[in-house]
Amino acid sequence: MLLPLLLLLLAALVASPARSLSFSPGSPAFGFHIDWGATSPASVGTILGRPPACFAEFYSFGASSLDPATVEQHATLVKAAGASCLFLSLEPWFGLDSKGIAGTDIAAIADACNRANALGVDIIVRFAHEMNAPWYPWGLPAGEGNYIAAYRRVVSGLRAQLKNRTMTYTLWAPQMWSCEGRGPVEDPYGRWYPGDDYVDIVGFSLFHFPTLPSPSNPLSRLFSQNPAPAGMLSNILRGRPGGGAYCDFRNVFGDKKAFSKPIIVAETGVGWSPAQKGETSDQEQALELSIKRTWWRQLLFANEGANPLNISMVMWFEFNKTEQGFSGMEYRDFRILTGSNATRDAFLDDYKAKTQ
C-alpha cells in the first residue's frame, strides 16, 4: 500500500514542471551572451553594478563534442560573479539522428546540468535555436519532422537524467520574422513547436540590423530602417502588420498558455557596422549610441503601455565580431557594456532607471 503511494508521489515529483522563473514583473530582467575569451561574468557584473540575470555560452553538441567539465567551469564563473543562471545554446552540428546525437551526448548534457545545478546555478537549455531559418543545418535544411523528433528525444533523455528537475529549464527559441507581405503562406513558428510537454520557456531571436540592405523587400523592410522603427518589437512579436493569427507569437505561445510558459528574448542586439558608415569617430559614437539606445529601450519598456508584452528576460548578444553578413563578411559591434564608453554609460542610465 505504502510503496505504490510513494511511487505515485515520486512520479508526480519527477513530472512536475520547473518552478516558475522568479524574474521581476516590471522590466524584463537582462542577461548577456558573452564572448568568454574577451570578457568574463565578473567584469560584466562589475560594469553593470550588479549581477545580471543570466550568462550564456554556445556549445557544439553531438559526436562527443560537449565536455561537461567546460560547462561546470562556466557555471563556477557565473556563480563567482553572483549570478545564478547559465544559458546553454546547444548546436547540433553533426546531425539530428542518433548518430549525430547519441545517448552518450544526451548523458553528457545531463551531467553538465547536474554539475551546474549542484553549484546552485540554474540552467536554461536552448537546443537547436533559430530552427525556422535557413542558416543552420538543424533547421529548415533538416525539416521540421527531424527537428521536432530530435528536440523531444534530447529533452526526454535530459529530463530523465536530471537530479533536480526544478533547476534546469528547456527553452524553444525560433527566429522571429516580420509577417509583413507573408500573407496566407505557411506558419513560420507553430510547425516547429515540439509541444507543451517538452518546452518550459518560449523565446525567440530578434536583432536590429541598421545596415540591412534591400529595403524594397517587404519581409526585411521593418528591419532595415535606421534606427529601429517605433513599435518594431511589439509589431513583430504580434505579427503586425499583415500576419495571420499564427503570426501573433505573443498570443499563440504566451497568452493562450495562461502564463505557464514565460516568454523571453533569447538573443538580441544591434548589428552595428561602423566601418561601413565612414563617420568620424565622434559622429560614429553618437550614431552608435542613438541606434542601440532605440532598440534597448524597446526591450526595457516592453512590459509597459497599453499592450504589455510581459517579457520575463532579455538576453543581449554582447559580441564584437566579423561574421557572414548580407553581402559578404561584415564587422559588427553588438556591444552595449564592453565596447564604446558613451554607449555603455547611456545603457547604464536607462537600465538603472528601469530596474531598481
Ligand X SMILES: *[C@@H]1O[C@H](CO)[C@@H](O)[C@H](O)[C@H]1NC(C)=O
> What whole-number distance in Å separates Cα of residue 51 and Cα of residue 38?
18
Question: 11 vs 219, which CB is nearer to ligand X?
Answer: 11
**Can you spell out the DSSP letters for 76-120?**
HHHHHTT--EEEEEEE-TT-SSTTTS-HHHHHHHHHHHHHHHHTT
Within the chain, how many helices (H) and strands (E) appear?
10, 10
Q: What is the grid cell recorded at 277?
A: 558608415
Near ligand X by CB under 6 A: residue from 144, 308, 325, 330: 308
Measure Cα distances from 315 to 32, 75, 85, 296 in Å. Answer: 5, 17, 12, 11
Under 8 Å CB-to-CB from 225, ≥6 apart: which residues? 210, 215
Near ligand X by CB under 6 A: residue from 331, 348, 350, 355: 331
Q: Dihedral of CA 151/54/222/249: which sign?
A: positive
What mask, x for binding ligand X by CB under 6 A, covers residues 243 to 282? -----------xx---------------------------
Q: Does 164 bind ligand X (CB under 6 A)?
A: yes
Q: Do residues 231 and 170 make contact, with C-beta atoms less than 8 angstroms apart?
A: no
Smallest separation (angstroms) from ligand X to the CB of 348: 11
Q: Does 167 bind ligand X (CB under 6 A)?
A: yes
Question: 290 vs 307, which CB is nearer to ligand X?
Answer: 307
Looking at 101-109, 132-140, 163-171, 292-300, which segment touches ligand X (CB under 6 A)? Answer: 163-171
Near ligand X by CB under 6 A: residue from 310, 325, 350, 355: 310
Identify whether 267 is a catalytic site residue.
yes
DSSP annotation of 334? -
From the candidates 57, 72, 91, 130, which is the catalytic residue? 130
Looking at 56-64, 86-94, 159-167, 189-197, which segment touches ligand X (CB under 6 A)? Answer: 159-167
Chain positions contacting ligand X, by CB under 6 A:
164, 166-167, 254-255, 308, 310, 320, 322, 331, 341
- Active site members: 130, 267
